[in-house]
Amino acid sequence: MCQNNNSSVRVGVRTRSLAKSRLRYIKQLGATDIFVDHADTEEEPDEFNDRDGTDTIAVGPNQIPSVSELEAARSHIEDAGLSFAGIQSLPYSMYGDIMFDRDGATEAIEQVKTLIRNLGEADIPILGYQWNPRSVVPMRTNPVQTRGGAEATAFDYDELDNPDELPPGINREYTEEEFWQYYQRFLEETLPVAEEASVDLALHPADPPGLESLGGIPRLFRNIENFEKAMDLVPSDNHGLKLCLGCFSQMGEDIPEVIRRFGERDEIVFIHFRDVIGTVPTFHETFVDMGNFETTTVIRALHDVGYDGPVIPDHVPKMQGDDDWQHRARGFTVGYLRGVIDTVRTSRQRKVGEYELN
């Protein structure tokens, strides 16, 4: 995992584009680690018609990037002075059949295993994943305005149409026990491969969390207890959390305590650093300096548990003049986090120095 006795918290960025201009901008911000956003060939085929191999990485059923493609992408990122830390997340088209135990589950697991092996051979250490039916259940409802009129995503349970009705494409109800069985099979198949390949799998919470089901579908990773169950189900040093602070904030949890709880278990792989105002069933996202938790306290907690890895700005509000990637809001978030991290680090170094002098 990404933990040791000498904390080295740093700022990374998630990006689908690997264009030189995008990487140059990220380097100029002072970020260090790149997590490539999954680009789903099945859900977004038009995105890949004219790729030149460095624009992004295509991932989807029957389109697993080869070792040579991953190595080329890593070299391309390293040439920009950055580190290829991992794949941000598996697309739903690669794990949906496994989640629902459909006919294609066995083939899907084999493709995930191939991706893990290829990442290991290309020396790319992290594969993020989630266990949410993204294509059939809404993550957000109508957006809202936050500071200065910036547009932010939101969730209001009361705005959902028929929240208990099975969505199109799902032909029967599933129990939570069934979902745990299907999930356990996924872990039993993939974690030995991850261990052999020296790749960490990082699980993201359900978003929105806190709800036992949505659209009639069980939501396993809705609370702390179920995350602990997931980590204990098939124990492995190569399995941990893509610790999304925004999701745990949406649950109403004490974020420093969450960090201590999973940090002491050495189960934090990397951090999605975002926040919201409000909790389930009604919340909206906001700038990182004005949400439910206090950023400095959270960074101190990461230092306390010896977290040695990146924090990634996740969802950000759309600011005036932003592009589709929201480069201005993302740039603000990177700069803000770097400032807090440097302040906490300097403060701790000063205290250590004073202790040694005394």
Confidence class for position 266, pLDDT limits 50, 70, 90: very high
pTM: 0.93
Domain count, the chain: 1
Q: For residue 2, count other CB atoms closer than 10 A to its CB.
A: 21
Would you state the pLDDT for residue 80? 97
Percent of the chain predicted with pLDDT > 70: 91
Would you state the pLDDT for residue 40? 64
Average pLDDT across the chain, whole number: 91
Domain assignment present for residue 242? The answer is yes
In this prediction, residues 187-194 reach a mean pLDDT of: 98
Domain assignment present for residue 346? The answer is yes
Domain assignment present for residue 3? The answer is no
What residues contact residue 263 under an 8 Å CB cut-off, 6+ apart? 3, 301, 302, 304, 305, 306, 307
Which has the higher per-residue pLDDT, 166 or 322? 322
Please give the Cα distance from 51 to 56 (Å, whole number).
8
Please give the Cα distance from 76 to 168 (Å, whole number).
41
Would you state the pLDDT for residue 157? 94
pLDDT of 42 above 70? no
Domain assignment present for residue 316? The answer is yes
Would you state the pLDDT for residue 50? 41
Distances in Å between the Cα of 42 and the Cα atoms of 38, 48, 76 are 11, 10, 25
Per-residue pLDDT tens digits for 321-344: 999 999 999 999 999 999 999 999
Domain assignment present for residue 4? The answer is no
Domain assignment present for residue 1? The answer is no
Domain that holds residue 345: 10-357
pLDDT of 273 above 80? yes
Confidence class for position 356, pLDDT limits 50, 70, 90: low
Weakest mean pLDDT among 41-50, 76-85, 299-308, 320-329: 41-50
Would you state the pLDDT for residue 55? 83
In this prediction, residues 221-231 reach a mean pLDDT of: 97
Would you state the pLDDT for residue 350? 72
In this prediction, residues 200-204 reach a mean pLDDT of: 98
Distinct helix (H) and strand (E) counts, the chain: 10, 17
pLDDT of 194 above 50? yes
pLDDT of 6 above 80? no
Give 232-236's long-range contacts (Cβ < 8 A, gap of 24+): 233/180, 233/183, 233/184, 233/187, 234/184, 234/187, 234/188, 234/191, 236/187, 236/191, 236/194, 236/195
Tokens for 69? Answer: 């493609």
pLDDT of 135 above 50? yes
CATH number at residue 318: 3.20.20.150
Confidence class for position 1, pLDDT limits 50, 70, 90: low
Weakest mean pLDDT among 172-176, 237-241, 293-297: 172-176
Domain assignment present for residue 2? The answer is no
pLDDT of 136 above 90? no
Between 176-197 and 224-233, two packed helices, what is the crossing angle to 10 degrees? 50
Domain assignment present for residue 214? The answer is yes
Reference 220, options 327, 228, 212; nearest CA is 212
Percent of the chain predicted with pLDDT > 90: 82
pLDDT of 230 above 80? yes
Weakest mean pLDDT among 34-43, 191-200, 301-310: 34-43
Confidence class for position 146, pLDDT limits 50, 70, 90: very high
